[in-house]
Amino acid sequence: MKLVNREQIEKLSKFKSENFLTTSFYLDTNKSKVTKKVITLSLKNLINEGKSKLEKMEISRKNKESLSEDLDKISVFSSQNLTTQNPAGLAIFSCQGEDFWQVFHLPNPPRNRVIFDQNPYVRPLSAALGEHRQICALTLDRKKAKWYEIFMGEISSLESMLGDVPSKVKEGGWEGYNSKRIERHIATHLHDYLKKAAKKTFELFKKNSFDWLFLGCKEEYFSVFEPLLHPYLKTRLKGRLKAKPGDPPDRILKESLELEKTLKKEEEEEIVNHLISELEKGGLATSGLKQTVRSLNRGEVQTLIVTRSFSKPGRICPKCNFLFVDEPRCLFCQKRTEVLVDIVDEAVEAAMDKNCQVKHITGPSPLRRYGNIGAFLRYKA
Ligand SMILES: [Zn+2]
């Protein structure tokens, strides 16, 4: 199924078996970036990684069998899926001992991983949801207003309303009226209609609580409509569309997604600039892998900011889970540290575990000059 809302994740996270562990599996299947061959190879590696992890686990034979069946089923399903489907990512949750199986198609590529745990590992799903904005797109002219909801790259119709605003003066059609009165008559109709549309938008907002409002209408309607919007909506009105009520949803979706992308880019630029200015003035911020990881270990991080594709090997203390760039022994408990394939990935997980916000920045950005990673801090020790 497609990942569309938080309820799906909540429901999934409630699954738990008394006797068996659950396998959670994430695969980057973004064919626009890598070839099918590369994806097939990372699928194979991931399954093998799971199998060798499984061998070392001290759990009951039945539990092991269930996990091993999970891996087999996931392997077959994923390779079939690669030829038929084309989502950017795949998330699979399986517990064969309980006959539990759930597949999600993701709009963005996740980091590859396989995890055995008591519960489904849903954090990457929440992160994927958190990266998208809930958008309401409204198109209107004097005859019709149409509302759409756009989320995770999907569009659905919310509501529509018919207008009865008279058009321009027809010759001989307005006998007995002078042109001033006619103009006023039209303006009143238009005002009433747009007022109704503004009210309806607010009702939809209360019901669906969208983050952004996009508006497709002519300038002459906009100048009347915008002041009629509730203050909550004025702050959410983030952009104008060229789309009109008669346009097919596909077209409205396409234009809205382009606008979403532009706005997100602006948001990212803003956050990187804010980080840099905090860094320059020696405020509550840090940057670079070593410093950021140290702040994470100490629980100082409030928001972690990282370039999307950035990854580096590192080390982790198996006892206290502290992360290190290159320490052979844990600085806190002296235990020998273990090698990590990707410390950035672990840092993101650690941040989410500690309820920090994580912001992914799509490169290229000035964050590169600061080591591709940084953080806003709660405090500085
Ligand atoms: Zn330690």
Please give the distance, rounded to the nearest whole angstrom, from the Cα atom of residue 36 to the centre of ligand 1: 40
Q: What is the pLDDT of residue 30?
A: 84
Over range 344-351, report the average pLDDT.
Answer: 86
Q: What is the pLDDT of residue 74?
A: 97
Please give the distance, rounded to the nearest whole angstrom, from the Cα atom of residue 285 to the centre of ligand 1: 25
Is there a contact between 5 and 126 (Cβ–Cβ < 8 Å)?
no
Q: Is the pLDDT of residue 346 over 90?
A: no
Phi-psi region of 338 (alpha: psi -120 to 50; beta: other; left: phi over 0): beta
Domains of the chain: 6-130 (3.30.960.10), 135-265 (3.30.420.60), 284-377 (3.30.1330.30)
Is there a contact between 37 and 49 (Cβ–Cβ < 8 Å)?
no
Q: Is the pLDDT of residue 62 over 90?
A: yes
Q: List C-alpha distances in Å: 154 to 148, 249, 252.
A: 10, 10, 11
Please give the distance, rounded to the nearest whole angstrom, from the Cα atom of residue 57 to the centre of ligand 1: 22
Please give the distance, rounded to the nearest whole angstrom, from the Cα atom of residue 328 to the centre of ligand 1: 11
Query: pTM of the full predicted structure?
Result: 0.74
Please give the distance, rounded to the nearest whole angstrom, from the Cα atom of residue 342 to the centre of ligand 1: 18
Q: What is the pLDDT of residue 85?
A: 66
Q: What is the pLDDT of residue 183?
A: 81
Q: What is the pLDDT of residue 184?
A: 83
Please give the distance, rounded to the nearest whole angstrom, from the Cα atom of residue 320 to the centre of ligand 1: 4
Over range 316-342, report the average pLDDT.
Answer: 93
Please give the distance, rounded to the nearest whole angstrom, from the Cα atom of residue 323 to the centre of ligand 1: 9
Distance separating alpha carbons of residues 142 and 317, to the nearest angstrom: 65
Please give the distance, rounded to the nearest whole angstrom, from the Cα atom of residue 298 to the centre of ligand 1: 12
Render pLDDT for 136-194 as a digit per residue (tens, 0 to 9): 999 999 899 999 999 888 899 999 999 878 776 555 555 556 777 878 888 888 899 99
Please give the distance, rounded to the nearest whole angstrom, from the Cα atom of residue 288 to the centre of ligand 1: 22
Q: List C-alpha distances in Å: 348 to 27, 235, 305, 373.
A: 17, 31, 9, 10
Lowest-pLDDT choice from 172-186, 241-255, 290-304, 307-321? 172-186
Please give the distance, rounded to the nearest whole angstrom, from the Cα atom of residue 294 to the centre of ligand 1: 13
Please give the distance, rounded to the nearest whole angstrom, from the Cα atom of residue 299 to the centre of ligand 1: 15
Please give the distance, rounded to the nearest whole angstrom, from the Cα atom of residue 289 to the centre of ligand 1: 19
Q: What is the pLDDT of residue 275?
A: 98
SS (H, E, C) the chain: CECCCHHHHHHHHCCCCCCCCEEEEEEECCCCCCCHHHHHHHHHHHHHHHHHHHHHCCCCHHHHHHHHHHHHHHHHHHHHHHHHCCCCEEEEEEEHHHCEEEEEEECCCCCCEEEEECCCCCHHHHHHHHCCCCEEEEEECCCEEEEEEEECCEEEEEEEEECCCCCCCCCCCCCCCCHHHHHHHHHHHHHHHHHHHHHHHHHHHHHHCCCEEEEECCHHHHHHHHHHCCHHHHHHEEEECCCCCCCCHHHHHHHHHHHHHHHHHHHHHHHHHHHHHHHHCCCCEEECHHHHHHHHHCCCEEEEEEECCCCCCEEECCCCCCEECCCCECCCCCCECEEECCHHHHHHHHHHHCCCEEEEECCCCHHHHHCCEEEEECCCC
Nearest to 70 by CA among 9, 21, 122: 21
| Residues composing the chain | 381
- pLDDT band at 49; cut points 50, 70, 90: very high
Over range 243-259, report the average pLDDT.
Answer: 94
Render pLDDT for 126-138 as a digit per residue (tens, 0 to 9): 777 777 889 999 9
Please give the distance, rounded to the nearest whole angstrom, from the Cα atom of residue 316 to the centre of ligand 1: 8
Please give the distance, rounded to the nearest whole angstrom, from the Cα atom of residue 123 to the centre of ligand 1: 24
Q: Is the pLDDT of residue 225 over 70?
A: yes
Higher pLDDT, 309 or 318: 318
Please give the distance, rounded to the nearest whole angstrom, from the Cα atom of residue 164 to the centre of ligand 1: 71
Report for 99-113, 299-313, 321-335, 347-361: range of highest mean pLDDT? 321-335
Please give the distance, rounded to the nearest whole angstrom, from the Cα atom of residue 313 to the centre of ligand 1: 18
- Residue recorded with tokens 């695969």: 27
Q: How many CB atoms neighbour CB 116 within 10 A?
A: 22
Cα angle vertex 256, ends 250, 257, to 5°?
A: 90
Lowest-pLDDT choice from 75-89, 148-162, 190-204, 265-279? 75-89
Q: Is the pLDDT of residue 341 over 90?
A: no
Nearest to 358 by CA among 315, 306, 316: 306
Nearest to 130 by CA among 111, 158, 154, 108: 108
Please give the distance, rounded to the nearest whole angstrom, from the Cα atom of residue 331 to the centre of ligand 1: 7
Please give the distance, rounded to the nearest whole angstrom, from the Cα atom of residue 17 to the centre of ligand 1: 31
Please give the distance, rounded to the nearest whole angstrom, from the Cα atom of residue 372 to the centre of ligand 1: 26
Cα angle vertex 198, ends 196, 199, to 5°?
A: 65
Please give the distance, rounded to the nearest whole angstrom, from the Cα atom of residue 355 to the centre of ligand 1: 21
Please give the distance, rounded to the nearest whole angstrom, from the Cα atom of residue 344 to the centre of ligand 1: 18
Please give the distance, rounded to the nearest whole angstrom, from the Cα atom of residue 329 to the centre of ligand 1: 8
Lowest-pLDDT choice from 168-177, 195-204, 321-330? 168-177
Please give the distance, rounded to the nearest whole angstrom, from the Cα atom of residue 350 to the centre of ligand 1: 15
In terms of DSSP bridges, do strands 314-316 and 285-287 run parallel, antiparallel, or are they unpaired?
Answer: unpaired
Q: Is the pLDDT of residue 66 over 80?
A: yes
